[in-house]
Amino acid sequence: MPELPEVETIRRTLQGPLINRTIESIEVLYAPIIEDETELFIQQITHQKIMDIDRVGKYLIFVLENDAFISHLRMEGKYYIVPKDTAYTKHCHVIFHLNDDLDLRYYDTRKFGRMKLVNVHHYRQELPLAKLGKEPFDIDPKALYQLLKKTGRPIKEVLLDQSVILGIGNIYANEICFRMKINPIAPANHLTLKRVKELVAISIEVLNEAIAQGGTTIHTFSANGIDGLFQVRLNVHGKKGQPCPVCGSPIEKIQVGGRGTYYCKKCQRKKT
Ligand SMILES: [Zn+2]
């Protein structure tokens, strides 16, 4: 599944070629991708210009002149920008025909991705975006500290709770705990304000590194035909049994909140 850095890379990749283009017509080949009634979705946004592409967590928001729609890629969703006369291939589910004979095409082998109309002015206050917490880039460490004080859940599990802190997926949660030198099962309410400040700073650092490199390649993802181009150096994630890059102890794998959790027993001894 693409995580925040991948979606941010997709956003940046799409922005240049799409901004100021007009949606001339839309073909929906697999209706369940559109959460609204298909005809309504098509009628509402046809003939509108794409003004911006925004992102909240892992959601892309196509901001048009009078409306907006959100797009969640889920497991395998991909966008391609191709000349209109390019042959359709399997798994192409939604086609936005743009001016200048270009198509924006949405592909999804798993068909789990979704699109939905939202209010162009208030989409952050609408579901599903309204229930999401703030990203590390925007969060106030003191507010996060107050939230964490209320829960004894493992810190690793809380890092994945999108209503507490938005945009950290499993890969990055493992890497953040490693850089914090914290045990992933340490209770969240054991963290001091100083440690929460560190947590926010390290989260920003890890996400920015991943964005700078365009995300990881652990799962297939693609924006505009870019596929498997980027690689982030991971210290612990997916490295069960391999030596810790700091101390050489074998990386352990446990389950925390049902998710594969990789850590170094020796380096990550801190419980606060
Ligand atoms: Zn170690």
CB 175 within 8 A of CB 181: no
Number of domains in the chain: 2
Burial of 16 per CB tally in 10 Å (0-12, 13-18, 19+): exposed
Q: Are residues 154 and 257 in the same domain?
A: yes
Ligand 1 midpoint to CA 139 (Å): 29
Q: Are residues 146 and 232 in the same domain?
A: yes
Q: Are residues 95 and 118 in the same domain?
A: yes
Write down which residue in 131, 158, 177 finishes a domain: 131
- Cβ neighbours for 201, distance < 8 A, ≥ 6 positions apart: none
pLDDT band at 216 (very low <50, low <70, confident <90, very high): low
Q: Are residues 108 and 179 in the same domain?
A: no
Between CA 50 and CA 19 the distance in angstroms is 5
CB 107 within 8 A of CB 78: yes
138 pLDDT above the threshold of 60: yes
Cis bond leading into 128, ω under 30°?
yes
Write down which residue in 110, 131, 152 finishes a domain: 131
Question: How many other C-beta atoms can be found within 10 angstroms of the C-beta atom of residue 4?
Answer: 23
Q: Are residues 154 and 174 in the same domain?
A: yes
Q: Are residues 120 and 10 in the same domain?
A: yes
Q: Are residues 21 and 113 in the same domain?
A: yes
Between CA 198 and CA 112 the distance in angstroms is 35
Ligand 1 midpoint to CA 209 (Å): 21
- Report how many helices (DSSP H) and strands (DSSP E) the chain contains, helices first: 6, 12
220 pLDDT above the threshold of 70: no
Ligand 1 midpoint to CA 237 (Å): 13
Ligand 1 midpoint to CA 171 (Å): 17
Q: Are residues 31 and 126 in the same domain?
A: yes
For the segment 100-119, what is each residue's pLDDT rounded down to a tens digit?
999 999 999 999 999 999 99
Between CA 246 and CA 180 the distance in angstroms is 13
Ligand 1 midpoint to CA 42 (Å): 54
**What value does the mean pLDDT take over residues 195-217?**
86
For the segment 232-264, what is each residue's pLDDT rounded down to a tens digit?
578 999 999 999 999 999 999 999 999 999 999
Q: Are residues 225 and 186 in the same domain?
A: yes
Residues with CB under 5 A from ligand 1 (ion): 244, 246-247, 249, 264, 266-267
Which of the residues are catalytic? 2-3, 58, 259
Ligand 1 midpoint to CA 201 (Å): 21
pLDDT band at 215 (very low <50, low <70, confident <90, very high): low
CATH number at residue 217: 1.10.8.50
Ligand 1 midpoint to CA 207 (Å): 22
Between CA 65 and CA 43 the distance in angstroms is 14
Q: Are residues 107 and 176 in the same domain?
A: no
Ligand 1 midpoint to CA 263 (Å): 8
Range of the domain at 26: 4-131
